[in-house]
Structure formats: C-alpha cells, structure tokens
Structure 1
Amino acid sequence: MLHQTIPAELPRAQGRIRADFGLAGGVTRRLRLFQSGSAKAMLPPAPGCEMVLLNTSGGLTGGDRMKITVTQDPGTALVVTTQTAERAYRSTSGRARVSARFQVGAGGHLDLLPQETILFDRAALHREQDIALEGDATCLWVETLILGRAAMGEVVRHLDLSERRRITRDGRPIFVENLRLDDAALNGRDRPATLAGARALATLVLVAPDAADRLAPARAALGNLGAASAFDGKLVARLMADDGWPLRQALMRLIRAIRPGPLPRVWQI
C-alpha cells in the first residue's frame, strides 16, 4: 500500500498594532491601543511618551505578516523604538512582509528609532515604511541593517531584501528611498559604489526647519564612519561599518549630537 506524504504547512506569524495618541493637559497620552498576534506594544515609564514595539515570534521568515499603524494628534510628541534587534531568518517559501505607517499631526514630532534589523543568509523580507507629516510636523527617523553576526562567523551570500522608505508632508513626498539587496548586490559588496565591504549600514533622516543648523555637530559625531548633508529642511546621514557594534556606537553619538534628551532606555541596555 502506497502512502502519500502531505507536506505540513508551516505556521506563519501575523501581528497587527494600531495606536492613537493625543494631548491630555498638554501632555502626550495614549488614546487607543489595539494589538494582535505576535506584534506587541509597551509604554514604559519614561520622560515624555515612548512606545516600544516587540515581535514575540522571535523574528521574521517567509510568509510572516506584520502591520503597524500609529497616528498622532496635532501638537503631540512621541518616541517609537523596538525592544531589541529584529531578525530576518532564512526563508524556505515566500517573503516576510512588514507594513508600518505613522501619521503626525501639525505641530507634532515623531522620533522613530528602531534598533537594528539583522539579516540572515537566505532571508526574504519586503518592508514598507511611511511617515505622513501634516502642516509643520517634524520627525527623526533611523534605519539600520546588519548582514549577519560577525561574532558568530556568519556570512550572508543569498538575500532577498526590498525596502520602501517614504516621508511625505501634506501628501507631497519629501524623502523617498527604495533599497534592494539581492544576490547580485552581495556579489559586488566590495565595490566602492556599493557596500565597500561593509556588513552594517544605517540611514538617519531629520526633517525639521533647523536641520541645516545641526549639520556641523552631525559630521563631528560621525567621524570616519559616515557622511551627512542638509538641504531643504532635511538632514540625511549615511553610516557604514565592518560590524554592527561600531556602527551602533557611531549612530548613538550622532543621535545625541542632533537630538535633545536621552536615547530610549532599550538602546542603552
């Protein structure tokens, strides 16, 4: 008698967060919070209002779906970070997909400071991130990618990463970046026009009327690990390093140089 083997369907992680913030007595407060699946949000005691995101599945792999939506009323100030580094693991089928949208009302400010995303060999990740500013709202945004863990001897040779990063003001694009890292890009990683041999890279974008005034301290903080420019109410910095640790240290110096107040506590653990 023949027995047919039916492949088991792998469980896929799904998560969703919807959070709304408003003013109460002149202080930013959470108005509503909905969370489901493996996506969780915590609001620890902290100066100002801070939301810490967490993926309880432990990482992303093919077929996972995450959706995050955050809205801020006019005049609010919010810090959004992650409890730890996100991990994109090897995918056996399909891509992990992450969608994050942040809407900031007029006169408001968002610090979007997630910790790094570690990409493992054969990871497949499609991520879309949008910040929609209204009126004179401002933001500071950081995104960091690490190609494997150097301390573990990991080398990423196969990758399927697609990212869309976009900041708009009243619906008009003011910063748009599409990033694609695949096998072909990794094969040329040592070229000066690509990764120049780096395993860790980060982008920081500050959108504020006084962005140009912060260019000099930003460049001093970067040292030889990056470069920065400022134009049209934006400051953009790029960082690259051989490993995640020196990049993280340079990024922390940079954020402290251009942003008042301490970094989120999870960054300092």
Structure 2
Amino acid sequence: MLARLLLACSCLLALAGAARADACTLVTELETGRVLKREGDCERRSSPASTFKVPLSLMGFDSGILEDEDEPAWPYRPEYKSWNEAWKGTKNPRSWLKDSVVWYSHVLTRELGEQRFKRYADAFGYGNRDVSGDRGKANGLTRAWLSASSLQISPVEQIAFLRKLLKQELPVSGKARDMTLAIMPVFPLPDGWTAYGKTGTGFQPRRDGTFDRSRQFGWFVGWAQKGERRILFARLIRDERKENSVASFRARDGLLAELPALIAD
C-alpha cells in the first residue's frame, strides 16, 4: 500500500511539473544530422531574446564595428538605466556575451543602422527575419529580438542557424566567425567534452501583443564538442505560471545536466 501511495504521489508531482512549463529539447549531431533527443513542440517560434547576441556578434565583427575579444571597450552611461549591476561598467565583446549586456547590443545595432541590420538578418535566414520591432513604434534596432517584439525563431531554426555557423555557411568573414566562437560562454562537461552556449530570457506575449510579466520563457542554445565530434542543442522553456527563478538558467542547468548521457561515446 505504501509503495502504491508513493508511486501515485510521484506521478502527480511529475504531472504538476509538466503543467508548469511547456518545453522543447532538441539535440542533434552536427556532422550526421542524427537526432539524439527531440521532445516537445520544437517548431513553435518565440522571441530569441539574448540568444540573438550570437548573430549580433557575427554582424558586429563582420562589419568591423567589433574588433576582437577585448575591443571595443564601451563605457556604461547613466542613460542606459540598467537594472542589472553586472551590466554597469566598461564592457567589451567577451564580457558582453558573458554577462548578456543589453545596452552593449543597443550600441552595436545603432552603429550597424537599420539597413545593414536588416540585410544581415535576411542573409542569415534567421527565424522569421522580421527586425522591424514593436508594431508601429519603429524601434527595431533596440527591441526586435526582445520578449513580444517582431523577431521570432523556433528551436528547429536555432539549430539550423548554429549548423550554418559551425559549418562556415553564413555570409560573413572567417574573422567574424572565429571571433564569435572565441567569445561564446564556455561550460566544461565530463569525459573531455566542452559546451558552448548562450542563454536568453524574456516574458511571454499576450494575445494583444503586450508581454505578460507573470510568465517567462527561457532559452539555452549552442553546441558541445570533443575532438572532431560536435553536438548541437536547443532548449526552450515557456512557464505556465509565475516562477521566482530565471527561465533561461533553468533551461541551461537542466540541459547541461542531461547532455553527458545523451552524447556519451
């Protein structure tokens, strides 16, 4: 009887956890395309949030606005009004990706300008390619990739973009690709593997297009590498209720915990 009660309780807890979040996990081999795991709705699009810093890095280095891992070093200004203390102070390309600094992205996109920004998004075939921003507000340079704004991408499309990046199939210079790979956040894994990935968090959209601060979404996208073997991954979480922890950190930590078993030789 006790065993039956424990089993029933565990099933109820699992169902409750599933009801709290809608998630996709997609893990594939780069070279063969073999799917190691596909779970959830991986075709549904969402805002890329700070995972968009990866294509932004390519744009910045390819255009010459970004120079290397340490330059340009742009100072924080009070008018940026950053709520995150980690975003304050002088930032360079490496710390921009590491700390996911929003204002650094805005300085970069303004330097790019609307025409170049749109040309790159189109050339990359990134998601729905819509960098117009919030409807009727002409703010694409600073808003397009955030929360409920115009740019949308699915986990399947995230994997497709990463595949083109690693196979050198994007229309950018070799330096742009190499510098972007050099500044990606690094996560050591067991058995000689290393993961490279970017998180992204935002609020889910309501039907009227505004965003719901009570429900987050969270990404973790990137790849793991050991020698010549490379594994692409994308996880997207959509919370069904208010959570106190950051959705992208939950996506990252959960996937990093699962990866060793999925990619074991």
TM-score (ref. length: structure 1)? 0.31
Larger fraction in helix: 2
Larger fraction in strand: 1
